[in-house]
Structure 1
């Protein structure tokens, strides 16, 4: 009788341990799933705004190109080159702010060092990719001989103030109320994409792709890839990825 009683207790204990283990795995998987779901939801939530931003940027460029038809090519390229720099630097400002905000919103235990690293390195990579490298490659893919101009290499003294102020702006904004941050994050991402779209277009027309409008459809498709993907990764995917890698406080 005693042996049977002990056996029953062991069975119940093992069953409880198994149930607890299964519940732990279920909760862990659910948590991971919610993280993946959050990334996908963020991407889908921002994607339509990104498409409209690219379209709006093409309207703006068309109006500027139409009004500048009387100017010679050299003068037009010089003006577009100036506009590229202005929007490229502003893009860096918005990208660094958005990266810091997203990381701060989702990180369990954010540290200042990690926030600074993510808030500077991620925008540096993706701003060059979306504003310069992908438009440059897009022009070549469409048969245009493009010029390569990387501001992080040639004009670091102009880039750094925008990058550092963007990070500082994100650090200040992260202390605001969460509801206000959600609204600002959405508006900031739309503005970020619009500015990046203009920077990419102005780069293309000022560095070789002067006659862009006969291939407007292809330009739009390339810009969607060149802008939506890097900007969404910079604003959403990368900071959320590192935020979810943060260990829980014990």
Structure 2
């Protein structure tokens, strides 16, 4: 019940974030196609390598901060922050857009940044972990901000991957893109920032505190 409630709570914001990302992408596509159609792919690919690492940063921050506020175990918090960012962000930004492209009838290219560009990704994750440790004791708003930024940046990263690595003519299937990207953003982001830390907290009392914190943030 709680997971379902959390997903419904986040659905409107996720839809608005993806829609805003599509609007930005639409302006980019229009501007690029006015000059050279190949600019859409090249420009989107470059921007993906900006938004995807930023997604890692905000995800590591939100996941680490949420866990660290309720359980003070350094190693466990680091492991959760790393898995919650590298694993779940890869799912949201790469794997789900990759599958979505195939469902839309496009032959997608698989590009896993942590394998091909570890020097690009890992510094963002490390900074995100550090910020997560700093934020959590000082302000509850820190987790709200990092999660909100996480959703917005994830929306752009997922859309940019879809366009960069296969679905260049995305406008004609924009409705399906909206649906697929909402799912690609909402499910992993909620899992990473909320469900994942909650499941791995050891003490039942701490889990109760975290649930209360979620209720206050709504």
- TM-score (norm. length: structure 1): 0.77
Q: Distance in 2 between matches of 1:68 and 1:199?
A: 18
Checking the alignment, whether the CA contact within 8 Å between 1:43 and 1:236 is kept in structure 2 is no
Deviation readout 1:184-241 (Å, 9 max, x if unpaired): 3223222211111111111111111000011001001111111110111011110111
Aligned residue for 2:83?
A: 121
Q: Distance in 1 between matches of 2:132 and 2:167?
A: 35
Aligned residue for 1:191?
A: 149
Q: Distance in 2 between matches of 1:175 and 1:143?
A: 47
**SS of the residue aligned with 2:33?**
coil
Checking the alignment, whether the CA contact within 8 Å between 2:93 and 2:157 is kept in structure 1 is yes
Extract unaligned runs of 5+ from structure 1: 1-35
Checking the alignment, whether the CA contact within 8 Å between 2:17 and 2:151 is kept in structure 1 is yes
Counting only pairs closer than 5 Å after superposition, residues 131-146 of structure 1 correspond to structure 2 as 131-146=93-108
Counting only pairs closer than 5 Å after superposition, residues 1-250 of structure 1 correspond to structure 2 as 37=2, 41-105=5-69, 107=70, 109-176=71-138, 180-181=139-140, 183-243=141-201, 245-246=202-203
Q: Distance in 1 between matches of 2:134 and 2:8?
A: 27
Checking the alignment, whether the CA contact within 8 Å between 2:33 and 2:39 is kept in structure 1 is no
Extract unaligned runs of 5+ from structure 2: 207-218
**SS of the residue aligned with 1:174?**
helix
Q: Distance in 2 between matches of 1:41 and 1:141?
A: 28
Checking the alignment, whether the CA contact within 8 Å between 1:81 and 1:203 is kept in structure 2 is yes
Deviation at 1:164, TM superposition (A): 0.4
Deviation at 1:46, TM superposition (A): 2.8
Checking the alignment, whether the CA contact within 8 Å between 1:46 and 1:186 is kept in structure 2 is no
CA RMSD of aligned residues (A): 1.8
**SS of the residue aligned with 1:194?**
helix
Distance 1:192 1:186, change over 3 A: same
What is the aligned length? 206
Aligned residue for 2:213?
A: none
